[in-house]
A and B are shown apart, each in its own frame.
Chain A
Amino acid sequence: MKTEVQQENNTTIVKVTGSVDALTAADLSKVLTTQITDGRTNLVVDLTGVEFMSSAGLRTLLGAVKEARSNGGDLRIISTNPGVDKVLKMSGFNNIAKVFPSQAEAVSSFGS
């Protein structure tokens, strides 16, 4: 799994590629926590490059949504992989956090 952090307007985009499983989820958690701790609480996690995500990845995202919101921000998701979408839907995650099909829509949802 790899992550790449980009800044666009008032939003921080964390682009994730590879697999988010019980081995790699801790690394993603560190990256997201670092952003929030450093005050970048408007987060978009781009999962379009993720080929596999398990409940370990979901747990990381749920924890980061809670952390971002308690710091005055939010965490939103970009997902286009049907398998990843299914994991988000099965868990009811898409009722808790906003999931977008594109980066433009996710970033603009935070306003400028």
Chain B
Amino acid sequence: MISTHRMTRAAYLESLEVFRGFIKERCAAVPGVTDEILYDMQLAVDEACTNIISHGYAGMDPGSIILDLNIDSDKITISLTDFGHAFEPSSTPIPDVDAPIEERELGGFGLFFIQQSMDEIDYQVTEDGNKMILTKFLRKLDGG
């Protein structure tokens, strides 16, 4: 592991920009991180935090979001921890991106964008909070 970083912020929409800025600040100069990879990671973190703020802490006092960033030579792992309501990613419907506008739902893209932007997604409900672990590989794996 090359380096680890942590940022904790209150679950407010104002924190979204701070988390995106943190990803940029820590990852932009990492070898193998292109502008596209950087945007993908910022997008995934933004969408995951928006879900935590809007749904995870719904009906509760906003708690915190902890972002742990692990930078390796071949991958970047981002873990987001919250202490709100857990959710089941597999039960979230996938939006129909080919539907005509009349049939389009306006929302539902958050988790879809996370799935499209990251290489691996894991979600765990633990005694230490709900954890979404997002991985981005910096090199193509052999045989991929």
- Residues on A facing B (Cβ under 8 Å): 19, 21-23, 52, 54-56, 58-59, 62-63, 65-66, 69, 82-83, 86-87, 90-92, 95-96
Contact = CB atoms under 8 A, between A and B. Distances in A.
Contacts of B99: 92
Interface residues of B, number: 29
6 contacts: A22-B53, A55-B112, A63-B106, A83-B36, A87-B113, A90-B112
A35 B46 CA distance: 28
Interface of B: 13-14, 16-17, 20, 35-36, 39, 42-43, 46-47, 50, 53-54, 95, 97-101, 104, 106-107, 109-110, 112-113, 116
Contact of B109 (A52, A58, A63, A69): A58
Main secondary structure of the interface of B (DSSP, over half): helix
Nearest to B44: A54
B54 A69 contact: no
A11 B113 CA distance: 32
A49 B15 CA distance: 22
Instruction: Please indicate which of the listed interface residues A19, A54, A59 has the most CB atoms of chain B within 10 Å of its own CB.
Output: A54
Given A21-B13, A91-B97, A92-B97, 18 more contacts: A21-B20, A21-B50, A22-B13, A23-B14, A23-B17, A55-B110, A55-B112, A55-B113, A59-B109, A82-B36, A83-B36, A83-B43, A86-B39, A87-B43, A90-B97, A90-B113, A90-B116, A91-B95
